[in-house]
């Protein structure tokens, strides 16, 4: 029997974390958002229904009108923009040029004056010189594309005075494997046999002496495309497909999965989400 206490969970993250070198069916977080069209599409989805999908995460955090928030991997403002009307100040970190452009446009369009934007990677920032700590809340929402998770988590903890919140996939499984498991072997020539995996984030926090809370929720999601061609191009880029044969396999799969809806095509899915959070001691 494996003694999980002896596993170096940071090395496990480096080996199999999101977009790590050698992982099939994914590209790095920064690479995924290097395409301006993909950023614009995500921006439109995020803003739908007045940032409707953001509010469950916002309500899950212990914010007050006096809170100062550090949002790591802010995207187009998925949390930062709606949060800005509820808290004193938000510092939004977004290294992707495409996402940062959408974020700045959303700030200007809403006339927001209490969001500061930093367009650098979290791992490249110095807390003492680049930021203004401590923050009441530090949050990383589906933005853990860090090469070294240990350093990233310790820096989050150091930047916070009260709470740290991480939102991530509960089963630690690549969403691409989950969504395309049926055709994974046809796409990449390897079986889709990714077993149930322990929560690397939670276990690593334990090794660091940070004892976090975990709450699991079920979430449905819908992605809309104007055509099957758009769906194939978008999902193929996310999967990192490189050949016409792979594209053909994906097209056949999506032709069966996509649901027509008033001239658009909907891709529906369900996933289990984890809120991992802790309160700073002292």
What band does 21 get if pLDDT is binned at 50, 70 and 90?
very low
Q: How far apart are CA 66 and CA 69, in angstroms?
A: 10
**Collapsing DSSP states into helix, strand and coil, what is residue 84?**
helix
Q: Give Cα 160 distance to the centre of its chain.
A: 20
**What was the pLDDT predicted at 281?**
79
Greater confidence (266 vs 14) lies with 266
Burial status of residue 251 (CB atoms within 10 A of its CB: 0-12, 13-18, 19 or more)? middle
Which has the higher per-residue pLDDT, 197 or 277?
277
Compute CA 182 distance to the chain's CA centroid, rounded to the nearest angstrom.
24
CA distance 63 to 77: 17
93, β-bridge pairs: 72, 118
CATH code of 4-173+194-222+271-279, in short, is: 3.40.50.150
Would the pLDDT of 60 be above 70?
yes
Write out pLDDT tens, residues 233-255. Answer: 989 988 889 999 999 999 999 99
Of 70, 156, 55, which is closest to residue 117 (Cα–Cα)? 70
Segment 154-163 shows an average pLDDT of 97
Q: Are 250 and 239 in contact (CB under 8 A)?
A: yes
Which range (4-18, 23-37, 121-135, 193-207) has the least confidence?
Answer: 23-37
Give the chain's mean pLDDT.
89
Q: Look up the pTM and report it.
A: 0.87
The whole-angstrom separation of Cα 106 and Cα 76 is 7
Higher-pLDDT residue of 4 and 175 is 175
Q: How confident is the model at residue 272 (pLDDT cuts 50, 70, 90)?
A: confident
With cut-offs at 50, 70 and 90, classify the pLDDT of residue 6.
confident
Where do the DSSP E strands lie in the chain? Answer: 68-72, 89-93, 115-118, 135-141, 160-169, 213-225, 259-261, 264-279
């Amino acid at each position: 029997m494996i003694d999980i206490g002896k596993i170096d969970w940071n090395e496990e993250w480096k080996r199999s974390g999101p977009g790590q070198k050698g992982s099939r069916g994914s590209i790095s977080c920064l690479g995924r958002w290097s395409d301006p069209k993909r950023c614009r599409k995500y921006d439109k989805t995020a803003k739908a229904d007045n940032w409707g999908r953001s509010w469950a995460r916002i309500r899950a955090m212990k914010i007050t009108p006096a809170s100062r928030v550090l949002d790591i991997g802010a995207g187009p403002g998925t949390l930062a923009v709606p949060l800005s009307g509820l808290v004193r100040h938000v510092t939004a970190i977004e290294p992707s040029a495409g996402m940062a452009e959408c974020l700045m446009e959303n700030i200007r369009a809403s006339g927001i004056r209490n969001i500061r934007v930093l367009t650098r990677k979290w791992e490249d920032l110095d807390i003492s010189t680049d930021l203004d700590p401590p923050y009441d809340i530090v949050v990383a929402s589906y933005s853990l594309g860090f090469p070294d998770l240990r350093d990233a988590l310790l820096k989050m903890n150091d930047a916070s005075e009260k709470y740290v919140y991480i939102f991530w996939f509960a089963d630690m499984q690549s969403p691409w494997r989950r969504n395309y498991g049926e055709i994974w072997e046809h796409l990449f020539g390897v079986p889709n046999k990714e077993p149930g995996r322990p929560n690397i984030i939670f276990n690593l926090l334990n090794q660091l002496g940070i004892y976090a809370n975990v709450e699991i929720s079920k979430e449905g999601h819908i992605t809309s495309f104007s055509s099957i061609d758009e769906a194939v191009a978008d999902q193929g880029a996310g999967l990192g497909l490189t050949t016409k044969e792979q594209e053909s396999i994906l097209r056949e799969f999506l032709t069966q999965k996509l649901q027509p809806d008033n001239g658009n095509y909907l891709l529906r899915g369900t996933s289990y989400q984890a809120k991992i959070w802790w309160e700073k001691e002292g």
